[in-house]
Amino acid sequence: MTPTITAFESSPDRGRGLARDMAVRWAFEEVGQPYDVRLVSFAEMKQPAHLALQPFGQIPTYEEGGFALFESGAIVLHIAEQHAGLLPDDADSRARAIAWMFAAKSTVEPVIVENEVAKFLEGDKSWSEERQPLINGRIRDRLRQLSVRLGGAEWLDGQFSAGDLLMVNVLRRPSALALLGEFPNLAGYVARGEARPAFKRAFDAQLAVFTDHAPAG
């Protein structure tokens, strides 16, 4: 059965691949698994039917037959466990790849999201400007640590894995991209991820949602 995921009917990023369905689409493309997409509006995401799938009223979700899953990281892990191509066979390497998935989602992403919250939800506060260097400093620290670990390697731990997929996906967010010029190896890492044919197919698919639904004129 073809799995179905949910994505924004009208993505605020206008097809830049920044919403979290992008990682899921990319994972499907890497393993060669077809998928369907159900587009949902902001209002629909808050209705009981969607909340039954995603308790926080967000995208993406994953459904296959009677099975449903939420959280983009968990969905990518599920895809990677069901199909070859995103996790190594060797148990130790596999565990390390999963560690990198968690590192992307729980160590690197939060400092980046903090900047977005500061910008979009707290930008009008009197203390906002004063706080900005602290937020940028925290992102820079994480990027520096990641840059040191990556060094001259192509991917974080041997072959490209679901860990790289989630890490590249996080580093594509504008708050990280803005600082990547200071870390040429990370800039190269993101470029390598984006150059993968599977990334391009996933990117084009999410962009098509926006262009196909764009108002005329």
Contact set with ligand GTB (CB under 6 A): 11-13, 18-20, 45, 57-60, 71-73
Helix (H) or strand (E) segment spanning residue 62: strand 61-64
Amino acid identity at 111: V
Q: Select 136 or 210, whichever has its Cβ closest to ligand GTB.
A: 210
DSSP state of 1: -
3 state DSSP class of 11: coil
Nearest by Cα to 52 from 1, 2, 6:
6
CB of 73 to ligand GTB, least distance (A): 6
Distance between CA 40 and CA 10 in Å, rounded?
A: 8
Q: Select 56 or 127, whichever has its Cβ closest to ligand GTB.
A: 56
CB of 59 to ligand GTB, least distance (A): 4
Q: Select 12 or 133, whichever has its Cβ closest to ligand GTB.
A: 12
What does residue 79 show for φ and ψ, rounded to 5 degrees? -60, -45
Q: Select 20 or 78, whichever has its Cβ closest to ligand GTB.
A: 20
CB of 151 to ligand GTB, least distance (A): 28
3 state DSSP class of 94: helix
Nearest by Cα to 88 from 163, 32, 161:
161
Q: Select 113 or 148, whichever has its Cβ closest to ligand GTB.
A: 113
DSSP state of 58: -
Q: Report in angstroms the alpha-carbon separations of 197 from 11, 13, 39, 150.
A: 23, 22, 24, 22
CB of 166 to ligand GTB, least distance (A): 9
Distance between CA 75 and CA 72 in Å, rounded?
A: 5
Q: Select 161 or 206, whichever has its Cβ closest to ligand GTB.
A: 206
CB of 106 to ligand GTB, least distance (A): 10
CB of 149 to ligand GTB, least distance (A): 23
